[in-house]
Amino acid sequence: MDYTTLGRTGLRVSIAGLGCGGFSRLGLGTGKSEAEAIAIIHQALDLGINLFDTAAAYGTESVLGKALKTVPRDRVVVCTKAPFSVSGGASTPASAVAGLDNSLRQLGTDTIDVYQLHGVAPANYDHALRDIAPALLRERDKGKFRFLGISETAPGDLTHETLHRAAQDGVWDVVMVGFSMMHQNARERVFPMTRAHRVGTLLMFAVRNIFSQPGRLAATLRELAADGQIAPELADDPLGFLVHPGGASSIVDAAYRYVRHEPGVDVVLFGTGSPDHLRANIASLLKPPLPEPDHRRIGELFGHLVGVGLDAPHLSRAGMVRS
């Protein structure tokens, strides 16, 4: 495993992070047992992952807590998120504190490493900054968590308005951002600010079903061609040029490698309930960058696209998720 420092937090974290949500929810969403979900977490630990990201909304905080019960606390970085209601414009400081306390109980820990507001829409950012963050920071000072973070509503904030502001406000130590081969505008809107202010970044939406399902990719590109957003000839085999000796082994491999080596990306999150997918995703993230001509062509062909592929992960016939 490769490791990096998560912005100004000083936390030493694996470049691959295991997400505990999505349709998979560590396999719980696809029929796996709690014991199997715990086994996935332990397998991730054995492979070097030390950052785990969950949320009140995922319903997996207690499972993660059970899995980490016998693991030395300083060996892992636990990230979770407040209930979605706390991110709304009508939430109260009291509800934010109550959500934090419940997450601590569910996780079975005295301290959360990164506590995040979950999916803050641009319209609600002022409320989050003015009313909710101060209340949470008082709880941080009591030792309930170490660093404050915020995540965007990627499909509802296509130009990263929330994180463009948050990265510069000095309040948020970590942000969660959407970035992929077909949604690249965080390169201009977010990463220059996070790098300048040493804000840690957790990356989501690297793959999703647009890259893991060839039929979905082709259908999406046909729609874009019909709308005049890409050249018609790209709709036939839009990313086939990436798979070749010396290049990517698959489109999914290319998707992970493309985001992994982007300046400004600290941790790439993915979710799965499959040991095979767990190993494959990590293997892709540990590979070298894509060949420079391939990387450059992705930018030339798709750098102007915004919001493509920001949909829910897709379940394969085997019932597993690669997101």
The structural domains of the chain, ordered by start, are 3-204+266-287 (3.20.20.100)
Give the mean pLDDT of the chain: 93
Q: What is the pLDDT of residue 217?
A: 87
Q: What is the pLDDT of residue 23?
A: 76
Q: What is the pLDDT of residue 313?
A: 46
Alpha carbon distance 203, 179 (integer Å): 7
> Three-state SS for 80?
strand
Q: Looking at the DSSP assignment, which residues form a beta bridge with residue 114?
A: 79, 147
Residues 6 or more apart in contact with residue 60 via CB below 8 angstroms: 20, 21, 25, 26, 28, 37, 54
Q: What is the pLDDT of residue 231?
A: 86
**In 244-284, beta strands by DSSP E:** 267-271
> Three-state SS for 160?
coil
- Closest Cα to residue 115, out of 181, 47, 172? 172
Burial 131-158 (b: 16+ CB within 10 A, else e): ebbebbeebbeeebbbbbbbbbbbeebb
Contact status, residue 37 vs residue 30, Cβ threshold 8 Å: no
Q: What is the pLDDT of residue 235?
A: 80
- The parts of the chain modelled with pLDDT lower than 50 are 313-323
> Three-state SS for 149?
strand
Q: What is the pLDDT of residue 316?
A: 34
Query: Residue 16: how many CB atoms within 10 A of its CB?
Result: 27
Alpha carbon distance 252, 1 (integer Å): 19
Q: What is the pLDDT of residue 215?
A: 83
The pTM of the full predicted model, rounded to 2 decimals, is 0.93
What residue type is 168 in one-letter code?
Q
Contact status, residue 92 vs residue 82, Cβ threshold 8 Å: no
Q: What is the pLDDT of residue 208?
A: 82
Alpha carbon distance 14, 231 (integer Å): 38
Alpha carbon distance 24, 272 (integer Å): 6
Residues 6 or more apart in contact with residue 219 via CB below 8 angstroms: none
